[in-house]
Amino acid sequence: MISKYAESKVKNYTSINNTTFFLIGIIVALLVNDFSGSVQPSVEKIPISSPIPASHQDQDNPSTNFPIPLTEPFGHAPSTSKTINTTTKCNNTSRTKPEDISEQNAALLKYQPKQITKLADVSNYGDRVNVDGFGKPVSNEPLVVLHETVISASETVRKFQTPHPSDGDQASYHALVTLDGVIISLVPWEKRAFGAGNSAFTNSNKVIETVQTNPNIPPSVNNFAYHVSLETPIEGRNDNKAHIGYTEAEYRSLAWLLGKANIPESRITTHREIDRSGTRTDPRSFDYQKLFQLMRAYKMALELPANSC
């Protein structure tokens, strides 16, 4: 569900470095090419890579660079090709054989959703920062926040591509998965999408994580979150508490995307779970078990050659 109270952009932009995000970016960029408590302020520190195109440069800091991203439309990594090796021996042990690869795993490895880019207007997202609005350093592991659109995918894209000078109107996701499984890239992954207003995440250690990037705006998870939304089915574009659920294509594409990011399941959450306003309920009728089963199967398929050595 699109946030109606997105946080303000930060004026003092900074370049961010974090080994975890670098590794995640590298892994996913390569794989995409392969297949075509107390409050703990937090933010990832993102490494520098290839330069931002002129149209995406920050006016306050035109020399800012962005790193290897998670999806192909922004990719700059060299093309590679990973194949299942059925002949090479590993440490003099058994070889990987074609019969070791189940039909299900083979199907998962072949699956590649269509990906398109429809960039949000720059007023609707900002930079991640490595200090909060009070000058305190912040760092944290990445977090995935799942949403649903409530309106159609095309209406959502139109809203995000519309300039919004007022902080209260600014909103965006990093990616949107349509009913037919198409992944629409809206905000570069290394940028801060305005996907949640007043929000916090309670991690597995019962520590509350949130970052206040602007002293005049409530804190949120946006500074360390990846916001991904599912398109709401036509029957669910209302205020009902539930609907018929999401399509098989949506679950498969979402699992494909998150499986490549290799983010722990414990750090995949929903807008409803992190919202502090008590008004967000999305994504309604979401099947966590289905998503995680697909993600686990996909990861197993990817790891099969290494595990067999």
pLDDT at 51: 28
pLDDT (average), residues 207-231: 96
193: left (phi over 0), alpha (psi -120 to 50) or beta: beta
Q: Would you say residue 85 has pLDDT above 60? A: no
Of 290, 288, 296, nearest to 270 by C-alpha is 288
Task: Name, in order, each residue with C-beta under 8 angstroms of 296's C-beta and a sequence gap of 6 or more.
Answer: none
Return the pLDDT at 104. Answer: 64
Supply the pLDDT for residue 262: 80
pLDDT grade, residue 270 (50/70/90)?
Answer: very high
Q: Label residue 105 by pLDDT band (50, 70, 90).
A: low
CA atoms of 157 and 173, how far apart (whole Å): 10
pLDDT in tens, 192-201: 999 999 999 9
> Could you give all domains of the chain from N- to C-terminal order, each with its CATH number?
19-307 (3.40.80.10)
- pLDDT of amino acid 14: 40
Partners of 201 in the β-ladder: 209
Token pair belonging to 134: 């009070």
**Would you say residue 23 has pLDDT above 90?**
no
- What average pLDDT does range 196-213 have in this prediction? 96
Residue 274: which of 169, 168, 195, 172 has the closest Cα?
195
- Please say if the pLDDT value at position 31 is more than 90: no
* 12-26, 195-209, 295-309: range with highest mean pLDDT: 195-209
Query: Residue 113: is its pLDDT beyond 80?
Result: yes
> Which pLDDT score is estimated for 256?
92
Whole-structure pTM value: 0.69
Question: What pLDDT score does 96 carry?
Answer: 39
Which tens digits make up the pLDDT trace of 151-160? 999 999 999 9
For residues 181-195, average pLDDT:
96
Q: Is the pLDDT of residue 114 over 60?
A: yes
Predicted pLDDT of residue 302: 73
The pLDDT of residue 299: 81
What does the pLDDT read at residue 261? Answer: 81
**110 or 9: which leads in pLDDT:** 110
Instruction: Tell me what percent of the residues of the chain surpass a pLDDT of 90.
Output: 56
Q: What is the mean pLDDT of residues 167-171?
A: 91
130 contacts: CB under 8 Å, gap ≥ 6: 14, 16, 17, 43, 45, 137, 138, 139
User: Residue 291: what pLDDT?
Assistant: 96
**In this predicted model, which residue has the larger pLDDT, 276 or 41?**
276
Q: How confident is the model at residue 86, as a pLDDT? A: 25
Which of helix, strand or coil describes residue 193?
Answer: strand
pLDDT band at 109 (very low <50, low <70, confident <90, very high): confident
Q: How sure is the predictor about 118, in pLDDT bands with cuts at 50, 70 and 90? A: very high
CB 43 within 8 Å of CB 7: no
20-34, 159-173, 191-205: segment of lowest average pLDDT: 20-34
Structure token pair of residue 53: 């195109």
Q: Identify any residues that bridge with 126 across adjacent strands, giving them in sequence order.
A: 192
- Mean of pLDDT over the chain: 74
More confident residue, 10 or 267: 267
